[in-house]
Structure 1
């Protein structure tokens, strides 16, 4: 993805280690909004029939009222150093936040894991993702080491100390951007891992469409193996030349993906390159193997003349460089109780423009702006289904009815 549109993107990447911006150095380094604004570049206008998130300059936790919608407020409940990911643990009321510089901290201010002496810094690298095993007994972090290599590392965790550290999976990264970084356990209990296409601009190595590499994919594994197990029903098990860990492919920089806690549907925010940001979708019950098109396609349009069959269309597309747009941040379908009018709506935003939108899952074209958060880096979901928003500038906000 391109770092925040040309100058903005580049500036963000330089000023914020891993800021979130679309990238294209020709595709400035970018990753999903992970520490560097997922990158994007190139003017464009919304494709017919797609949502076109509004345009605006970043705000700072500003409530907005939209037609037919109620009003939200973003209440600051914590301050962190470049927060980029959020998780909750079974049986634990604390909130856990991953800071890009390398710390996993609780909402109470405790440091659970400190990798600041090991992570790479700047650009889109660092500590990028966190997830707890459904049992709460293990915690997993996605991070890049000083050589830029991605690690998915496990610690045993009793709520007080993280011990028995081991690497579950590692992946070489040819460039410093597009590292992905999202970790989440799905409804099936397996760990899903997002990896970008390896970086640079335009996917020069063709990783997105190459089933022989983990780059440009969402993986699905059982992390409690040695070092992990591949579920027998993964789509490419038994397919010659294909990595069996792959669950879905054709992705550029899937910075954030989420599962709908009620339906099990999967929502993927894939940061674009020069023209389009997109949200992809996989229905619950899918057998996996979806090809979301990169680098044959960006958004709904062919990329550099690329062609392909059986590509899965994005469900939301909006233009880069319009109103400051640069990197899509996928959120959650709201399933909480405190905001009745928001029920069943998918929330997402843009790192550079700062807007946050909500869209009925069955009428995504009716997306409406419901608030703004400056340098939105990620969303979070609590045990009760209530939602949170993180700003790379430091605040953790709880989303509440105004």
Structure 2
């Protein structure tokens, strides 16, 4: 994040919270930015109570979409800062997580209603990036909903730089069961001190039993942090820490920060946890390739939110070895070196410690062990040639460059093959969105050439999922809505 961003963030409470949540970088000429107003906060409801939402309607003005696609606004006026969604098996209902800790179960009728499934407001640290950010519905049982949230500090208010942790829990109709860490456990899985880079997303594996979990590095998002800035999370004398927690360097107080975890049989006596990817700055969102069967592997595509230069999509073949994506010594890719992982200049040039930690054979991170991104785009560049020609997907369509309001890879997800209306190139496709550029792009892995799918969004996506009829759904935190894109 740029040093001058705080002044700009104060212009909007909702946008400020979102900026910090995603650890945005380099906002230029921000005083001239114009954003949607925050949605009205709905009336309070008790668990088990149902509320009515505004009837589904077509977005006006429409974003620019491929021919015959239309965006519709769902669940307007009844949600407050939604962050994540998960569908029931028959796709007729969707669970919606709110940043503040509520989980709703909503139907997909033309005049939708939402039932308050759970309220964890008293257990969730809802401040800046912190909150209830991850949700996944058990594919075998619609009544089981897994959630991932930041917990409050042991004492005092949850505000500013305070020591917090993460919690993975199972919600059912009878309440909450804490899984990681388990209730009463003194061993914390995650440790966070700053207002960004906390927990992230959840996704089930192809066996419908394995659960994948992401978390950020827990370090400072606007300063070089190798553990010298504070004494939280075992930092201070136990160096290196800070962003280097994503490298699993500490044996004294290890935490699962800056990683993707694989949980087998979560919540059972046979539960096991393993790291499948590390060296990640802020894997706020990730998605599994859709499909089931013996030929399907749990390939994951990770939206890794970048610092001052890059936004990256990382690819993990879970059946293979654990992959290291190099943060904080490496970030993004180098187009001039066969798209190998690029050296991270700020950490390498900050004396005295990071240069030692990132250097040669004596360093913590060796370049030969680092996996480059599947795809990356520079903050100062456009994502596709189409964007460049039209000067779109860059904050200001009238010109001025692609990074007018910042860049953040805020959502990533797949459509499945169930749509009977989507053209072939848009089925079983990967989609990723940048909230500040107000666009969504798509590609068909293993091809990593993106094409622009949606531009001129009213707010921006923070979660992308395939839903009813195989349509693409996304969560818009800025306007407190869930949206659906259909095709005729």
Alignment of 1:330 with 2:411, yes or no, is: yes
Return the structure number with greater strand share: 1
Over the aligned positions, Cα root-mean-square deviation in angstroms equals 2.9
Alignment of 1:143 with 2:136, yes or no, is: no
* TM-score normalised according to structure 2 size: 0.66
Alignment of 1:342 with 2:342, yes or no, is: no
Alpha-carbon shift at residue 62 of structure 1 (Å): 3.6
- Partner of 1:16, secondary structure, is helix
What is the aligned residue count? 354
Aligned match of 1:64: 64
Computing the radius of gyration from Cα coordinates, the structure with the larger value is 2
Aligned match of 1:163: 175
Q: In structure 2, what is the Cα distance between the partners aligned to 1:83 and 1:146? A: 20
Distance 1:295 1:343, change over 3 A: same
- Partner of 1:172, secondary structure, is coil
Alpha-carbon shift at residue 176 of structure 1 (Å): 2.5
Alpha-carbon shift at residue 126 of structure 1 (Å): 1.0
Answer with 144-153 or 96-105: which moved more: 144-153
Alpha-carbon shift at residue 276 of structure 1 (Å): 0.7
Aligned match of 1:245: 274
- 2:91 and 2:467 in contact (8 A); partners too: no
- 2:149 and 2:199 in contact (8 A); partners too: no
- Partner of 2:148, secondary structure, is strand
Q: In structure 2, what is the Cα distance between the partners aligned to 1:377 and 1:401? A: 22
Q: In structure 1, what is the Cα distance between the partners aligned to 2:71 and 2:246? A: 36
Q: In structure 2, what is the Cα distance between the partners aligned to 1:197 and 1:269? A: 14
Q: In structure 2, what is the Cα distance between the partners aligned to 1:367 and 1:255? A: 22
- 1:83 and 1:100 in contact (8 A); partners too: yes
Q: In structure 1, what is the Cα distance between the partners aligned to 2:214 and 2:7? A: 25
- Partner of 1:364, secondary structure, is coil
Aligned match of 2:390: none
- 1:3 and 1:326 in contact (8 A); partners too: no
1:38 corresponds to which of 9, 14, 23? 23
Q: In structure 1, what is the Cα distance between the partners aligned to 2:464 and 2:3? A: 19
- 1:39 and 1:327 in contact (8 A); partners too: yes
Aligned match of 1:401: 487
Deviations 1:216-261 (A, max 9, x none): 000011254457721xxxxxxxxxxxxx621211101111101121
User: Relative contact order, CA 8 A, sep 6+: which one is greater?
Assistant: 1
Structure 2 unaligned residues grouped into runs of 5+? 37-58, 107-112, 154-163, 182-188, 227-241, 334-341, 349-357, 359-365, 381-402
* TM-score normalised according to structure 1 size: 0.79
Alpha-carbon shift at residue 281 of structure 1 (Å): 1.1
Structure 1 unaligned residues grouped into runs of 5+? 22-29, 31-35, 44-55, 231-243
Aligned match of 1:76: 73
